[in-house]
Chains A and B, each alone.
Chain A
């Protein structure tokens, strides 16, 4: 693990035009990702967590150039990948691979397992045919599939095995960055552990860097080195693993953590549940102040007027809240 960031995202914004009302003229935009910045160090895992609609998946898709960014910079090893086109873009796709949430819909049902894994080699690399088979065989062994399963079709596999095929496919082009979008949330609990352990083993073995998208804080706590919490398109808190879980500063992060049901008896008795009432605001007509203010238990007048900037309050700890200063004390 070195200190050089492999991925550096600056002021990334993704917006979608939405239809509103029957009028002509004015277009409305939904800012799914609104001016976010973060870095991922080589060999480490950054999690983006948040609830549905927070923009975490859109951010990941924009980093992989699977949706168009409106503005910003996505720097991968010194190159702004938002500016790439043609052959350069193809090279970038080789370096950034994706593991999808749903192993049922992300594999082509008419392709045999080995062809699924070989596909990126054919479309993104110039690997000679003779070497391809060796690479595929090697990947099958590494993700825990048996050689005789190569000729099977996706429907002949269980959910966990399918996700292994998806992982092998992502590894085939020797990528530097792998984006894991909720890689275990569609799997049965007992199978989740198998896949999470596999992802960590592969990371150690190949020196992989993960951008890990998840809503499951238990999984994130286990998998990640640093965490960015998103709410309504904004990063509200960004910290290393120990700071975020042991000293969550943003009221939303604290509420999110306290909402997770746990078998840990001491934690359950110790933590006061912070219930946040209501629902998030309309993403097209956002309030002018802090986006969390209408649900925040400690919001003040200023929070409704002025949007907080993401600021550094400790080493490796950034937060967007008016009520937290350099002393890094929780406002709750």
Chain B
């Protein structure tokens, strides 16, 4: 079993019911996550990153989104056919998630201790007393100073960074195998972001939890992940080892995402370049699913083929995979 990936998503297609009809918000997505591995989903808003996370958690909006085909194998078990009871058991226990906005993901009328203890009592059947003690231990583990005193605080008494730590404590309460972090630091200041990244790295080393981080920040990916999955309009654009992709992106969208951001550089000089622009914006949902490259309208390498046929996945020797007709030339 050791060679088998912890999570294997194959040809996943998720359809969303919109006013204009049914749209494939995720279209033939495949990827793997190994034991103890840290991967990142990258892309702009509206590319399906969070939707993929929700699908893994079995939290697709009911009546609106559904898994149309494909499989999500977690430790060999297909989550797309699992019963709601089984999913509830997995959620928060074996796979847990932290969200972007730590202000709104905590319940304002319960103390943070009560909220952490609730997870432990629901999933692990701990007694009230034991769960409370465990909550203190967890707050300590996420480096909240004076955990014993802070455990009875309400969320409003904590700073943004501390609230995100509480969310992490809650997510890690049951020692999950996978932690999904959806833009965990976007709402936080950079120095606090550095603290949270540091914490996540240490926790992964100590517990062996695999992490899926969703982000739009290539710098954060370079800092945190071993492999990245670049998504565009619900599809794989590029997958591969982070260092290699940053060094040599094989998809024009990846290249755009890396070079459109002014990154801090080591030895700054007086000269300044114009930033590379990726013109236009992500297509709207009703244009998803067409048999062509959906990035073509924003791409400077567009050829006729890009407009008439969906590009197949090209695999390179170093493990990089790119869905682009021009991958080899890049």
Contact = CB atoms under 8 A, between A and B. Distances in A.
Interface stretch (B62-70, B75-83, B176-184, B189-197): B189-197
B135 interface: no
Interface stretch (B118-126, B261-269, B285-293): B261-269
A298 interface: no
A259 B194 contact: yes
Contact of B217 (A217, A221, A246, A261): A261
Nearest to B143: A277
Contacts of A279: 159, 161-162
Contacts of B268: 221, 241-242, 245-246
Interface stretch (A21-29, A36-44, A193-201, A319-327): A193-201
A187 to B, nearest CB: 10
- With a 10 A CB-CB cut-off, give which of A189, A193, A255 has the most chain B CB atoms: A189
B281 A260 contact: no
A217 B190 contact: yes
A202 interface: no
Interface in B206-226: 216-220, 222-224
Interface stretch (B21-29, B252-260, B314-322): B252-260
A122 interface: no
A304 interface: no
A288 interface: no
Interface residues of A, number: 46
A106 interface: no
A267 interface: yes
Contacts of B260: 189-190, 192-193
Contact of A189 (B44, B162, B222): B44
Contact of B223 (A51, A261, A266, A278): A261
A188 interface: yes
A218 B222 contact: no
A288 to B, nearest CB: 22
B274 interface: yes
A236 B181 CA distance: 34
Contacts of A223: 262
A263 B281 contact: no
B276 interface: yes
Contacts of A246: 267-268
A191 B281 contact: yes
Contacts of B257: 189-190
5 contacts: A190-B260, A218-B263, A261-B219, A261-B224, A263-B218
Interface of A: 51-52, 158, 160, 188-194, 196-197, 200, 215, 217-219, 221-223, 241-242, 245-246, 255-268, 270, 273, 275-279
